[in-house]
Amino acid sequence: MAESRTILLASLALITLPIALVSEADAAAELSLSQGASSVLVTDNGPGDTNPTLGAITFTGSVGSFSGTFNAGTTKPFIGSALQPQLSLTSTSLTTGTQGGILTILFGDSGFGPVTNGNVTAHVGGTTVVTAASTSVPAFEPVAGQVSYLTFMDSGDVTLALTTGLTAQGPFGGTIFDNNVSSNAAFGLNTSLTQEIIINQGPNAVTGLNSTLRITSALVTPDSGSAITLFAAALLVLEGCRRRLVAAS
């Protein structure tokens, strides 16, 4: 009977492990927008998120002097995974009035890793133009030095934490800008990743951009999908233990 109890406890431990892995993968992504004293924080499927898809955030509205669609912020499980992370953000028609200003966008998620010998690729591209004639810049002319793109990770798994820099690009401007950089990174279980986009936009300007952070690793260990498979296997083991206990009684 003692042997049967030992087998039963081991089976329950197998079940607990994949449940923990699945819950870690369910951490919610966040989108932060700030300009001066005005700020907005949107959590995946929380207030302000108009996209019901898990792993995708869409917010349309205004922040300070900026207005537009801060949309298609996507992460796991919609794209990528804990072991092959990917963050992507698309913002369209970010306009300012006569004041201009500096808009900071943060988009990130937690629960990534472990990643060993990860190849980091960061891309940003888009346009910035003036929409109305002014004394210094004619209408629809390119404007220099508008968009900066930085990426970060945090081993404490704090969402939107700018702890350890991964890549830095810009500032870029002009009718069209497009830039890629790569680096390497390695991190353990439960690490957060964050994109930071800083738009320094003058009066009567409009910016559209797309940014992506992708980390690939040749060494892949079981992810949440594999955890579900392990959960099913553990149930089979538990059923076997139950039958042994019934037969022994």
pLDDT tens track for 177-196: 999 999 999 999 999 999 99
Give one DSSP letter per residue of 109-134, joined into a string.
EEEE--EEEEEEEEEEEEEEEE-S--
Q: Let me know if residue 96 belongs to a domain.
A: yes
Q: Let me know if residue 59 belongs to a domain.
A: yes
Residues spanned by the domain of 118: 28-221
d(CA 122, CA 60): 25
What is the average pLDDT across 220-246? Answer: 46
Instruction: Tell me the pairing of strands 56-63 and 38-43.
Output: unpaired
- Whether the pLDDT of residue 79 is over 70: the answer is yes
Q: Let me know if residue 64 belongs to a domain.
A: yes
Residues 6+ apart with CB under 8 A from 141: 129, 130
Number of separate domains in the chain: 1
d(CA 57, CA 72): 6
Which range in 9-13, 126-130, 178-182 is most confidently predicted, on average pLDDT?
178-182
Residue 9 near residue 33 (C-beta atoms within 8 A): no
pLDDT grade, residue 169 (50/70/90)?
A: very high
Q: Let me know if residue 48 belongs to a domain.
A: yes
d(CA 65, CA 151): 25
User: Which residue is associated with the tokens 């390119």?
Assistant: 142
User: Which residue is associated with the tokens 């499980």?
Assistant: 77
Give the chain's radius of gyration (CA, Å): 23
d(CA 194, CA 85): 11
Q: Let me know if residue 23 belongs to a domain.
A: no
pLDDT for the residue numbered 249: 57
Q: Let me know if residue 92 belongs to a domain.
A: yes
Q: Let me know if residue 202 belongs to a domain.
A: yes
Q: Residue 143 maps to which CATH number?
A: 2.60.120
Residue 78 near residue 180 (C-beta atoms within 8 A): no
Q: Roughly what angle, to the nearest 10 degrees, separates helices 224-248 and 2-25? A: 160
Residue 117: how many other CB atoms lie within 10 Å:
11
Terminal Cα-to-Cα distance of the chain (whole angstroms) = 9
Instruction: Tell me the pairing of strands 191-201 and 101-112.
Output: antiparallel
- Whether the pLDDT of residue 159 is over 50: the answer is yes
pLDDT for the residue numbered 123: 98
Which range in 21-35, 57-71, 223-237 is most confidently predicted, on average pLDDT?
57-71
- Whether the pLDDT of residue 9 is over 70: the answer is no
Peptide bond into 18 cis (omega under 30): no
Mean pLDDT of the chain: 80
